[in-house]
Structures are given as structure tokens and as C-alpha cells.
Amino acid sequence: MDKQHTKVLSYFRFRRILIPIILGLGVATFLFVRSFDREAFTGIHWVWQSYFFIFMALLMMVVRDVGYMYRLRVLTDGQLSWRRSFDVIMLWEFASAITPSIIGGSAIALYIVNKEGVSMGRTTAIVMITAFLDELFYIIMVPVMILIVGTQYLFTTEGEYVFLNTRFGTQGIFVLGYLFILVLTTIIIYGVFINPRGFKLILLSIFKLPFLRKWRNKAAETGNEIIITSREMKGKPFIFWVKAFAGTFFSWTGRFLVVNFLIMAFVSGGDQMLIYARQLVMWVILLISPTPGGSGVAEFVFSGFLGEFIPAGLTPALGLMWRIISYYPYLFIGAIILPAWLKRVYAKKSRKEKEINPSDELQHKPV
């Protein structure tokens, strides 16, 4: 068992799975008790539309995962089958669910994709381009939704966030987050598609500064990753990018529509476009969450951003249902898949090693 294998397994310890469950259920319980309203629950009328929209919410989770799987197959040029893509996406989501949102599961994703037989160069490119496509979706959809719903009702007045010792409201932290994503995406475009070696030189020049010098080796690694990604992705046909972005669009749209359909299951009417747009703002807040998978923060933010579309007494319950559908399954599916996946990829590695290095018996067989 190699060091990398042991290190990755440390991320999947039971304690790491238990922490987000306790955080999420703890906050959900607190919000539920604080705003419990018996009349809101007795006023629920279970009609066929309720079951239909709950089914649609579940179907959107399938759309989300199939979109990710399709994108992975596009980025690997079909090297991974649908079955192996399913394993990779479930474990990738599992890793994201048990690591702080601000860190994400990219480091573990590198390990997972590489163990599926994808070269490390291409794996590096896949993980970086995946992040790039996610950010590109966000950059495009924000102005589109602002044009549709405007800014008058997009931001809530609830909640303040401290950044660089300065207090920001919802709109302020959203603008900061959007600008950060815009700058980061511009840097990736320049580095990957325009001038990868020039980008690395700029990066190394910046990290010559005395207060940044200790991170210079890390900056060099990032520069190398950009060069590798550029080599792998330059020259890809236009249809390749259309397919990859289509997978991204469907996966993110499915993710957001889960909330829309859950609200429609219990509340008639409501501005569905505004609910969708509010989730774009929510995503920036969850992106900087210090808790695993945004657990605890997500339940609280749900009430603040979407509470006005739901009867007050139902908001925490619907927030919990949202997380039960869109978050907790990955914890359990990932934990189930992981042992069999590790057994499969390491058995495959052992077989390859035997093919390359014959056994001692064959090496010493008398002639």
C-alpha cells in the first residue's frame, strides 16, 4: 500500500463523514425548533402535484450526476466507461462532501481519475478544465439571470459577512465573489489557451517577493500544471468544448432545479426564475464555507435566501429535505463504493505489474 493510497484513505475516515452529518442535522434541528409552526404543517395538502414535484427534484439529481459523467467522458475522450465514470463522480462528490467548500475535493479527484488509468498529465488537465467550466457557467449565468429578474429582489437584506476585516452585506460579498471568479477564469484562459510558459514566468516573478517566497515551489507546480493542461487541451475541436459545456450546463441546472421543484411541491406560485437566481448568490456564500461540504452553513443560508418563498414554519424542514436529497446521499454512496473501487483499481495495478515484471519462477525457469 503506497503513501498516496494511505494519505487518500485518511480523508475517508468515519470521523470525517460524521462531522458534516452532525453539523448539518444540528443546524437544521436548531432552525426547525426555533421556527416550528404547527399550523404550517397541518396546512400541507398532499396532492398528486406534491409527489410529482418531489419526483422531479429527485430526477434533477440524476440529471446533475449524468451531466457530470457525460462531461468526464468527453474530457477523457471516452477512455472511461459510463460505469467507471459513475464511480469517479460519486467518489469525487464524496470527497467534496467531507472537505471544506473553500478547499473542495480537487486533490482527491486527481488521485481518483489517475487510478482509473488516465495519465497524470491528462488527469491534471481534466481536473483544471472541470473547475474552469464550472466557473464559466457561473460567469455566463449571472448576467443572464440579472437581465431576467433584475437586481431589486435578487439580494436579501439578511446576513453580514466579514472579509479582510471589513463587513459586507449579501450584495457586497456576491460582487467580491463574482469578481474573484472572473479574475481566476481570465487567468486560466490566458495560461491554458494563450501563453502557458509566459504565465509560469509571471507567476515565478511574483513569488520572488520576500513575503511570498516560501510558496514559490507551489507556484512553480501550478505553472507546470497550467503547461500540462495547455498541452492536453490545445487543438481540441469546437464540438469538444460544446459537449463539455453542455454537460456542465445540465449538471448545474439540475442542481439548482432541485430547490425549485421542492418548493413547488409544497407552495403554489412563486417566482421560479428569482428562486433560481437566488441560488447563484447562495453558491458564492457556500463556496467560501469553512465547513465540510458547506454543512451547517447551507441549512442556515437556505432559510435566509429562500425563506420568503416558503411558509415560515416549513422553511427549515424544506432546507433539510433539500440537503437529504442533494448532499447526504453522496456520503453514503461514496462510503459504499470506496472499498470495492480501491480493490478494483489496485488489483488492476497488480496485474499490470505482473505483466511488466515476470515472477521469479518464470525468471529462474531452467532452459
* Closest CA relative to residue 282, chosen from 301, 263, 300, 297: 301
C-beta of residue 302 within 8 angstroms of C-beta of residue 282: yes
Q: Which of 30-44, 91-105, 117-131 has the lowest mean pLDDT?
A: 30-44
Rounded Cα–Cα distance for residues 162 and 137 (Å): 27
Q: Which domain holds residue 222?
A: 3-363
What's the pLDDT score for residue 136? 95
C-beta of residue 140 within 8 angstroms of C-beta of residue 185: no
Cβ-based neighbour number of residue 358 at 10 Å: 10
What's the pLDDT score for residue 361? 44
Q: What are the beta bridge partners of residue 163?
A: 166
The dihedrals phi and psi of 116, each to the nearest 5 degrees, come to -85, 10
- Residues contacting residue 8 through CB under 8 Å, at least 6 positions apart: 108, 111
CA dihedral 80, 84, 85, 90 (to 10 degrees): -160
Counted domains in the chain: 1
C-beta of residue 324 within 8 angstroms of C-beta of residue 87: no
Task: Give the length of the chain.
Answer: 367
Residue 241: pLDDT band by 50, 70, 90 thresholds? very high
Answer whether residue 325 shows pLDDT above 80.
Answer: yes
C-beta of residue 192 within 8 angstroms of C-beta of residue 128: yes
Answer whether residue 57 shows pLDDT above 90.
Answer: yes
Answer whether residue 20 shows pLDDT above 80.
Answer: no
Rounded Cα–Cα distance for residues 78 and 63 (Å): 19
Rounded Cα–Cα distance for residues 205 and 203 (Å): 5
Rounded Cα–Cα distance for residues 88 and 107 (Å): 13
